[in-house]
Structure formats: C-alpha cells, structure tokens
Structure 1
Amino acid sequence: MDILVLGGTRFLGRFIVEYALEKGHSVTLFNRGNNTDIFPDLEQLIGDRNGELEVLQGRAWDAVIDTSGFIPKQLETSGRVLKDVNHYTFISTCSVYQNNADPGIDEGGDVLTLSEEKLAEITNSEDKAQLGQFYGHLKAMSEKTIEKELPGKVLTIRPGLIVGPFDYTDRFAYWVNRVAKGGEVLAPGRPERPIQFIDVRDLAKWTVELVERKVTGTFNALGPDYELPMKEYLEASKKVSNSDATFTWVPEKFLLDNEVGPWGEMPLWVPEDFPLVEGERPWRGFMAFSNKKAVVEGLTFTPITETVQAVLEWEKTREPSEQKLAGMKPEREVELLKLFKETK
C-alpha cells in the first residue's frame, strides 16, 4: 500500500512508520520538517496542518494515518485535500468522553462538545494552555469533522496513555526511573487502584494491521486485557531494574491536602474518592475504559516487564540535563514522606 502519515517522526508516528515499512508498504511523511533525519530515505513533504497543504494537492495514496490532528479545521482541510483516499485513520483519545466517573465506558459513550462560538474562540486563540484545557473537546469534534468529510472511510482510534520508548510526556517513565533508583518510594492511593495504558509498539502494529484490512469504526485502544493494579506495575518496575525500592502507600486525602498535583506531579494517579472539579463525581472511570471491542479486533498487549525494560533502555540514551515534563521532585518526595510519618 501507499500510505501517507501526517506526523510520523516523534512518538507513535515513528513506530507506525517503522512497522509499515517492515510490512513492505510505501510510506510518505507530511510534517513541518522538524525531524527529517529520523527517516532520511523516505519522501518527506513539508507543510503545516493549519493551512499549508499545497504539497498534498494532486497526489494519491491508498491510506492516510493521521497522528497529529486535533483541531476540527485541520481535519476539514485534510479531508478535502485527501478526498480520494480509500481509508483514513484518525488517532484520537479516550479524553473525548464526557463520563470519566463510571468504569467500563465503551465506544458508544457520549463525547464532549463545544458551541461554534467557543470553538472559534479556542482555535483563534494563541493561548496554548487553552488548547490543552479543551484537548478532549477538540479531538471529539475532529472525529465528527473527518467522518463528515470522508463518510464510511474513517477508522478512529481512541488510545489511553501511550507509553514506551520516545514517550516525551515522562508519565510512565517517571515511575520506571524512580523505582530503578531504589529507596523509599511515595506511592499514591491504594495499591489495588486500577490503571491503564498502551505500549506504543502494540498500538502501532495494530493500527497498521487495521489499515491493511480497511477496518472502519471507532475503537478504544488501551490495556491490558485484565484489571491491572498500580502495585503490580510498580513491582514489575522493581523486578526489571533489580532495585531495592520499597513502597509507602500514601492516602489520597493526604496528597490532596498537601496540594500534590494528580497526573502531572504524581503521574498515573487520579483520585478515586475525591472530585477533580467541584460538583463532579470522582474520575473512577478515567483509567478503566472498556477495550473489549479492540481486543476482539486483534489488539494484543506486550507484557508489562517488557515495556518497562524498553523504557529503561531508552532512558539511558537521554541527556541527564533534559527537562522532565512530569513527576515529583526528589526533595518534595522526601518532605512529603517525612510529613506523612509524622502525622500518622
């Protein structure tokens, strides 16, 4: 197949490209030209999702895999320029769902919406923080936009947290690194609290296989295929790194009383018993979405220990001075552990 990848050089895209090439497909990249050295032998078309699409005019591909779009206008213009494509894959997110409170939400769950006025305000704003705040809303509306432009041709994949080598968010890597360092580790909430994520290599492989079979429709893409406790993940990290780490499980109330930030400062933690937003229910479903439809369609999961090992190996290639985007600072962890013991 001739495949056009919109993006393709940073994280998920690079693994999609690698797997597609392994399967013998021809791949063309379209991006802003920031990482042209990653696939130097591929045709790389330089442009911008926000209007500079001229290089795509008059070209034909069997399939498009869109890893980068999240503003509806981007999907509208891409769909029109690429209207003759046979199959269009849009990588969306589980953040599109309105309901984060109830575990087991499947692809039929209601998604977020925006008024036309609010959408115009957000997309015309130069405030990147606002774009992040409405990320799920924009992805949900982008799904509807590309389906409208290319009816019956769209595969929409809604991943949860994507993890693995080259994961620049540092959410998964924080725990792998912290446990590898050993010592007393501050662990959030209760040990049996369930978590979900998807290895980037599993997601890339499955995406290409769906494209090959021209599968359409919407799928949640996250794992594993059983309820994974946070404790099991941390113990797997300890085993792989052969560390002497011990885990002190600190109640949610203590963390919130001491203004520990969920998800960012304390990755993979969202309170079970306390709402993130006043007036809402706690987000018990945020890492408990249904993946049954994807599993039936062939999604498989790498063992956790192998994912941890891959991240550890990749971490060795990073510069020590590189700024981490998530995780608790060591001195803050020591301070909180000391305070917790004093107040028990």
Structure 2
Amino acid sequence: MASYDAALFVGGTRFIGRHTVEAFLDGGYDVTTLTRGEHDDPFADRDGVENRTGDRTVRADLAAARDAVDPDVVVDLVGLHPGEVREATDVFADARYVYVSSGSAYVPGDVPMREDHTPLHPCDPEQEDDDSAETYGPRKAECDRAVFAAAADGVEAMAVRPMLVQGPHDYTERFGYWVNRVAEHDEVLVPGDGGSLLHRVYVADLADALLLVAEEGEPGEAYNAADRTAYSLDRSLELIADALDTEVKPVHASERELAAHDVDPGDVPLYAPSPMLASTGKLAALGWEPTPPAESVAETALAHVEAGVTGPEDSLDRASEEAAIEALTE
C-alpha cells in the first residue's frame, strides 16, 4: 500500500464529512477542510485538522487550497454539478481524487444495481446547472462520467456511490423520523406490508469506505457503498425498539388505504415502493467490512434521541398519522 499523509476535504464539517475526517485522522492523516464557513466547525480545536474558508465553485479557492496543502488525497463531498467535478479533477490532477456520488446516479430497475452493468441516468446540458431534486440523479451520474473522463486522462480519480446514508449528525433526519416515532409512540403507520427495501449505509462505514478507496481504489472505477445486509422498514422498527428498550406495533396500509385517509406514502421517509438494492462486492473485495445492522442502528437511534431529532419538516405529521391509524384499526 502506498503511503499518503495529507488529505484535503472539499466540505467535511457536517454529516458524511464529519465522520470521514475522523476516519482519516485515525488513519494517520493530516486533514484540511475547505468550506464556506456557513456551519459550525466540529474540528475547530482538534489537532491534525485545519480549515480553509473558500468556495468550491471558485477555481482560485481550490487552487489556493491545493497549493497550501499539497494533498496526497482529495475527498470531494459536495460536488453537485458536473462542471464542479470537471474543475476539481483538473485542479487536483496530481492527487488521488475520491468523489462522493450517490446510488441515485443509477437508472432504477436492476436488483441489485451493479457498478459495471446498471445504466446511469442521462444528463441533458440544461440539467447540469439545475438545483432541483428531479435532476439530482442525472447530475450525480454526469459527475461520475466526469470522474471517469479524468481517469482516462491520467488522474487518479474514483467515485463512491453510497445508498441512503444514516447515522449520528444526519441533518436530513430521515431515519430520525422512525427513531422518534418508536421512542414516543406505541403504534406507527407503515406504508405497504412493512417489507419496503431501501438499501442504506451506516455513515461510519461509508467513512471507512472512502478511506479505503482513497488508498486502495482503482482509478476510473466506481464503488457502491451499502450495508451487506439490507433490512426492511419493519425490521428497522424492531432494531430501533431493541436499542431503546421499548416496543412498537407497525400498522400497515396499502397505497389505496393511505390515499383514503389523505396520506401520501411519499411523505413517509425511507419508504420505497420497489426494492432499491446495490451490489457491494467491489468494495468488499478491497477488504471493506460494514458494521452489523443491530449495532449501527442502536448507535444511530441513541444518538438521535439524545439530539432530539424528530424527522424532516415535510414528512407525515403525527396528527394525520394518528387519524389514519385510528381508522385502520377500528
């Protein structure tokens, strides 16, 4: 294994970056984060971590960080538009560049989705600079293609595609919705039969994957990151209840039953009407071993309860949920 000492994170102070900085510190790296300074820096007083204020959309800021740090590894956590990734792979052409992509880059359909077989979303030129949720997948796919193009030109560039990420400090609060429901209520409304499968990855395991790919990954490759064991919504509730030493009863409802009570299943976090699963064989071949779900869910649930996480603001409100539960259990 090659020896690398200096890591530059584009982003790095919120959720995925926060855990990945810790993994790189544990790996013996000196770490610099490049951020706009809009959020609290959890590493402000940590040895081995420096922060530079800059905007990743400004080439001069990227170049200044490169010249100051001379990074062996660059981890790009906040590339949302293909032009940003093209710029970054050019500025950091002499480093090993790891781009944090997404399982949303895939065209849904394959079960499981495989890096070298499942097609990526097309991305029209007008979509590249868009910021809507509808173009997120196509933009991530085009960012991956930018990584592959850079690798073809000799840059040691790689992509990691996490499925839905959960864990402590998750500001999206999607898994926190379910933790709060289990912590506060005896019954919770679950769309479908409870078997909804949306593949997820524990954030600390994703951090380890990013470190592993930075050191051992093959330029021009993409690596899926997801738990080796996929588990359903009902199983999630069981694991959360075990962690919190409580009990919960899922109340299942079909989409027709939900509609009859004015509940949109899309307002329920983590519900997937069709299985969304990703193959993780490529990452496992590098030696990646994720945390068992019972352990990762327990750590996440306890952290969410301590932080007072309740769920996304636009998720199903409890009053509507209770009305539906009452009608369904009469």
> Aligned-pair distance for 1:133?
1.6
Give the counterpart of 1:67 among 71, 77, 92: 77
> Aligned-pair distance for 1:214?
4.5
In structure 1, what is the Cα distance between the partners aligned to 2:311 and 2:272? 23
- Answer yes or no: is the 8 Å Cα contact 1:187–1:249 preserved in 2: yes
In structure 1, what is the Cα distance between the partners aligned to 2:308 and 2:190? 26
In structure 2, what is the Cα distance between the partners aligned to 1:293 and 1:213? 12
Structure-2 residue corresponding to 1:242: 245
Give the counterpart of 1:44 among 14, 28, 51: 51
50-59 or 102-111, larger mean C-alpha shift: 50-59
Provide the aligned length of Structure 1 versus Structure 2: 316
- Answer yes or no: is the 8 Å Cα contact 1:158–1:218 preserved in 2: yes
> Aligned-pair distance for 1:114?
2.0
Provide the TM-score with structure 2 as the length reference.
0.88
Give the counterpart of 1:105 among 113, 126, 133: 113
- Is 2:13 aligned against 1:24? no
In structure 1, what is the Cα distance between the partners aligned to 2:223 and 2:77? 15
1:1-344 pair list within 5 angstroms:
1-35=5-39, 37-40=41-44, 41=46, 42-51=49-58, 53-54=60-61, 55-56=64-65, 58-59=67-68, 60-85=70-95, 87-98=96-107, 100-108=108-116, 109-116=118-125, 118-119=126-127, 123=129, 128=131, 130=132, 132-151=133-152, 152=154, 153-216=156-219, 217-223=221-227, 225-263=228-266, 265-271=267-273, 284-285=274-275, 287-318=276-307, 324-325=312-313, 327-341=315-329
> Aligned-pair distance for 1:227?
4.3
> Aligned-pair distance for 1:115?
2.4
- Answer yes or no: is the 8 Å Cα contact 2:212–2:288 preserved in 1: no
Q: 3-state SS of the aligned residue for 1:112? A: coil
In structure 1, what is the Cα distance between the partners aligned to 2:263 and 2:285? 38
CA separation of 1:326/1:200 partners in 2, compared to 1, >3 Å: closer, same or farther?
A: farther
> Aligned-pair distance for 1:173?
1.2
> Aligned-pair distance for 1:308?
2.6
Which residues of structure 2 form unaligned runs of 5+? Answer: none
CA displacement, residues 198-243 of structure 1 (integer Å, 9 cap, x when unaligned): 00001101211221224431111112x2342322221111111122
Aligned residue identity for 2:37: G
Provide the TM-score with structure 1 as the length reference.
0.84
> Aligned-pair distance for 1:316?
4.0
Question: Over the residues paired in the alignment, what is the CA RMSD in angstroms?
Answer: 2.2
Which residues of structure 1 form unaligned runs of 5+? Answer: 272-283
In structure 2, what is the Cα distance between the partners aligned to 1:185 and 1:36? 34
Once the two structures are aligned, what percentage of the paired residues are identical? 28
